[in-house]
A and B are shown apart, each in its own frame.
Chain A
């Protein structure tokens, strides 16, 4: 939106002020995420830029906080860094353990949420679905209900069913929390899905299963994958439910970060944060690519 030629000086001035304001807001949005990256390479245990860092002196930077992620919780961190040392890291290092838990819980809850959510989205997007609005409201509600209420409810429910302190409990809870995201993304993809394609497949003799796997599935795949990524991120980022229902064995990355922030905040947290930021950049890039691919597949050009 360039300025029209008839714009008055005041309008020109406002235009530049407006762009300045927008830049400031973009900085507000993005700076807090980027600031942790350089700080995580701090050689000193401070949360601010030291003079050496500002002077780009290599001595001001170090990888010590990344090293701590490996050594913290190890049986023999001082030993020579050979195969046995790495085995020790894999078996005992606290951050590695929580990363493993996050991955296990994330993958299984994502699978559960994606499979159930996609099947349900197929039903929900059919025009003849009865009580569509009410059912949709129920299925989206885990996203809306405050997480503390969900966690409280699950705490009581799990302690009466014996699921508390088990992987199954955390996976089920995270799957529930991820479902709304799968439903929203997959139904959005299905809105643009041309149902005459399925009918054409049926008229050519395909069974509903064949037509689903050969026709529907490839077309909605980008939506399903981005829904799955949303569900994974939800689980990967979830701390309150873990706080309430998980035992010591099921601590996840955010749970360990929570501990770190509450008790003794150290730059090691920033190195974890940096790794997570890199992961989220990768996921975002993936979703963007999928979105474009989906638009191309469906032949929709945005707007």
Chain B
């Protein structure tokens, strides 16, 4: 600010000096820069903390999504041979000798399973090939080509060799390709994955569709509530606001449990419907452990995130605008549509983006009430982390999801501004 004023001053004024004789401009600039430094130093500890405990781990995870040295670290000779010979070279006796030596070493070091797992990610059914050959590694003798092919015919398979060439590079985009249902052909070109393995793109689409649906549900339910709260006298709206804030403060697991209790086959809702004669015992509605369960529970959980931004935009809208429109002859519908609704658009944008961002990454609720059809991409990441143990693929899927979320976050910051985020 001071710099700006200084620039606009006439030449003569620039010669103003402070009491100790320094030029005013320099003194101001110095005071400014020390103020900036002080402000930055206050933020620095937290910034360093977040960089260390949050940004660094995520960076490490992103690195893992393109880096997997399961093969190259444990099969050094084989990796060297692939580096020395261009793509398309027929494996010769030297190659088989390198392979056999590496397998022997890996069997002794008990890393053959890691190698097999790594190859298995790209070409299924090969893990057992490596471990089985590893167990018989002591029997392998020159000529190695004949010995290995005798041990298992698959060692002569050119597809296996092409795959080994690919995994011999520690850095590879293959996990990202797999995360978007692509694969590599034997000659290294990119093709679509076999039809029965195309699950990830479908899951990403499902995640986005469900998140969009939940956002729309939240908007439909949240708009009337926010409008009511914004138009009631403050005394009443503060009281009713508690009904919105209580779910917001209640544990996620409690709310998810409640929905299980309410919606399950023998749950409160079904029992009430049966008791009132609307349903019979045979026609109980399956409302949970499927997509419907995910949508209902997540709408309930994310609804406060829609209501709060909408409310904070609606509250300051003066009611006289709508009244003016009415007095000029507009029907109440026209007045709402042409006058009121456009003024609430910033709130709708903020709420919808926030709900969508949070919805896309949801994990707990779909895992507990989603069944098979209500699983989102987060659940698949957790599956690869905990069950299939294909960590690189999990990291690649997480990276794709992260990119989508960051894009939306950037959009939110541009349109609404992070500073305008309010909680209750």
Nearest Cβ distance between residue B87 and chain A, in whole angstroms? 32
B58 within 8 A of partner (CB): yes
B131 within 8 A of partner (CB): no
A11 touches B332 (CB 8 A): yes
B232 partner residues in chain A, CB cutoff 8 A: 1
Closest to B225 in A: A25
With A119-B42, A148-B363, A157-B56 as known contacts, state yes or no: A261 contacts B253, CB within 8 Å: yes
B418 touches A140 (CB 8 A): yes
B 328-350 to A, binary, CB cutoff 8 A, 1 in contact else 0: 00001000000000000000000
B12 within 8 A of partner (CB): no
Q: Which of B35, B39, B247, B253 has the most CB of A within 10 A?
A: B253
A148 touches B413 (CB 8 A): no
The stretch of A63-71, A76-84, A230-238 that contacts the partner chain: A230-238
B 384-424 to A, binary, CB cutoff 8 A, 1 in contact else 0: 01000001001100100110011001000100001101111
B224 touches A128 (CB 8 A): no
A303 partner residues in chain B, CB cutoff 8 A: 234, 315-316
A239 touches B253 (CB 8 A): yes
A289 within 8 A of partner (CB): no
B43 within 8 A of partner (CB): yes
A124 CA to B362 CA, complexed, in Å: 30
Q: List residues of B (226-268) whose CB comes within 8 Å of A's CBs.
A: 228, 231-232, 234, 240, 242-247, 249-262, 264, 266-268
Q: List residues of A (206-231) whose CB comes within 8 Å of B's CBs.
A: 230
Closest to A54 in B: B275
B303 within 8 A of partner (CB): yes
A302 touches B423 (CB 8 A): no
Our pick among A149, A179, A276 for the contact of B251 (Cβ within 8 Å) is: A276
The stretch of B45-53, B90-98, B144-152, B159-167 that contacts the partner chain: B45-53
Closest to A238 in B: B252
A154 partner residues in chain B, CB cutoff 8 A: 53, 57
Nearest Cβ distance between residue A222 and chain B, in whole angstroms? 13
Residue tally, chain B, CB below 8 Å to A: 93
A122 CA to B50 CA, complexed, in Å: 17
A262 CA to B264 CA, complexed, in Å: 14
B64 touches A156 (CB 8 A): yes
A233 partner residues in chain B, CB cutoff 8 A: 249
Our pick among B53, B240, B256, B361 for the contact of A149 (Cβ within 8 Å) is: B361
A172 CA to B264 CA, complexed, in Å: 37
By secondary structure, the A interface counts as: helix
Our pick among B43, B254, B259, B413 for the contact of A133 (Cβ within 8 Å) is: B413
Q: List residues of A (127-153) whose CB comes within 8 Å of B's CBs.
A: 127-130, 133, 135-142, 144-150, 152-153
A25 touches B224 (CB 8 A): yes
Closest to A18 in B: B224
A179 CA to B49 CA, complexed, in Å: 10
B39 touches A123 (CB 8 A): yes
Interface size class of A (residues with CB under 8 A): 35 or more
Closest to A149 in B: B398
With A29-B300, A33-B246, A48-B267 as known contacts, state yes or no: A277 contacts B254, CB within 8 Å: yes
Q: Which of B53, B260, B262 has the most CB of A within 10 A?
A: B53
B256 partner residues in chain A, CB cutoff 8 A: 261
B364 touches A240 (CB 8 A): yes
Nearest Cβ distance between residue B221 and chain A, in whole angstroms? 5
B378 within 8 A of partner (CB): yes
A116 CA to B51 CA, complexed, in Å: 13
A139 CA to B221 CA, complexed, in Å: 31
A104 within 8 A of partner (CB): no
B360 within 8 A of partner (CB): yes
Closest to A126 in B: B39
Closest to B368 in A: A261
A138 partner residues in chain B, CB cutoff 8 A: 47, 50-51, 55
A129 touches B39 (CB 8 A): yes
B40 within 8 A of partner (CB): yes
User: 10 shortest A-B CB distances, which residue pairs?
Assistant: A146-B361, A123-B42, A157-B57, A153-B57, A120-B46, A32-B258, A123-B43, A1-B231, A153-B61, A126-B39
Taking Cβ atoms with an 8 Å cutoff, the residues of B that contact A are 1, 32, 35-36, 38-43, 45-47, 49-51, 53-61, 64, 221, 224-225, 228, 231-232, 234, 240, 242-247, 249-262, 264, 266-268, 271, 300, 303, 315-316, 319, 332, 357-358, 360-364, 368, 378, 381-382, 385, 391, 394-395, 398, 401-402, 405-406, 409, 413, 418-419, 421-424
